[in-house]
Amino acid sequence: METEKEKSLFKAAVKARENSYSPYSKFKVGAAILTESGNIYSGCNVENCSFGATICAERTAILKAVSEEGKLTIKKVVVVTEPQAEPCGMCLQVIAEFACPECVVLLCDSKNVLKRMSFGDFLPNPFDPSKLP
């Protein structure tokens, strides 16, 4: 981890993963985001037997942040899974809605950062307001 804030972000994602409700996939995911205001919000995946109603950990964290801060900007995202997995397309699009241009994504297991990438490397051409009529 590069900074104390990053360590706190990682710990929040690991802790959130413990609350994962994943009885169908057995794939526990925890995520945490750091907003421009310096706040950390975490979330876990919550599955549903109607699979379309499932919500990913990344979106849970972002929705919590929006409900607390309103308009916000995401500086960092940490995703904790075992084995390592990248955010799904729906999560990437939601992250794109709020990410600053320098947003960093850290993919981790429960002990280490496995991969560090800029958000733009994940989704170089997101659908954004400029593409609306």
Q: What is the pLDDT of residues 51-84, one digit of tens each?
A: 999 999 999 999 999 999 999 999 999 999 999 8
pTM here? 0.94
Domain definitions of the chain by residue range = 4-124
Q: In which element (H, E) is residue 74 found? A: strand 74-81
For the residues 75-96, what does the mean pLDDT come to? 96
- Which candidate, 89, 74, 75, places its Cα nearest to that of 127? 89
For the residues 101-130, what does the mean pLDDT come to? 93
- Name every residue whose Cβ is closer than 8 Å to that of residue 130 and which is 6 or more positions away in sequence: none
Q: Give the strand pairing for 99-108 and 74-81.
A: parallel
58 flagged as catalytic: yes
For the residues 115-126, what does the mean pLDDT come to? 93
Q: Is the pLDDT of residue 1 over 80?
A: no
Q: Pick 4-124's CATH classification: 3.40.140.10, 3.40.50.2300, 3.30.1330.40, 3.60.150.10.
A: 3.40.140.10
From the list 6, 58, 68, 97, the catalytic residue is 58
For the residues 12-17, what does the mean pLDDT come to? 98
